[in-house]
Amino acid sequence: MDIERIDQIIDGHQSEASSLIQVLLEIQSENHWLPKEALLRVSERLQVPLTRIQHVATFYKAFSLVPKGQHEIHICMGTACHVRGATRVLDTVQDLTGIGPGETDLDLKFSLETVNCLGCCALGPVMEIDGKTHGKMAPGETADVLKSYE
């Protein structure tokens, strides 16, 4: 991500320090992570100490300080999804992508996370990719859904 684009995002928020979280969210959305250079530029332009920015970036799970894949996969492991086979869905995703929870593949195509609940228990087991919910997943369907993101 170049400095010009970071400046455009900051300018879109009138360079207000109170917009820190929104600025970081936009950078994260475009870049899939928050590079150190971006944090330094935000600190400089918003006149917010880098330590405060790093505190915010590590406090909220929405932010990542390491590169993430183009597609973020979340597998619900909550009770309703677990009893309906979420572990089989997770195993299938791991087998197909070669990554485990908390990891990103070397091509930066997929990142995988497990979550405790996605709020749609009746659809369990649930897999969410890039914010799109896929419910009542079975291992075979999981493979088909993943192929559509390749």
Q: What is the pLDDT of residues 20-38, one digit of tens each?
A: 999 999 999 888 899 999 9
pTM of the model: 0.78
Mean pLDDT of the chain: 94
pLDDT at 119: 92
pLDDT at 61: 82
Q: What are the pLDDT digits (tens) for 98-111?
A: 999 999 999 999 99
Domains identified in the chain and CATH numbers:
3-59 (no CATH), 71-147 (3.40.30.10)
DSSP codes of every residue in the chain: --HHHHHHHHHTTTT-GGGHHHHHHHHHHHHSS--HHHHHHHHHHHT--HHHHHHHHHHSTT--SS---SEEEEEE-SHHHHHTTHHHHHHHHHHHHS--TTEE-TTS-EEEEEES--S-GGG-S-EEETTEEE-S--HHHHHHHHHTT-
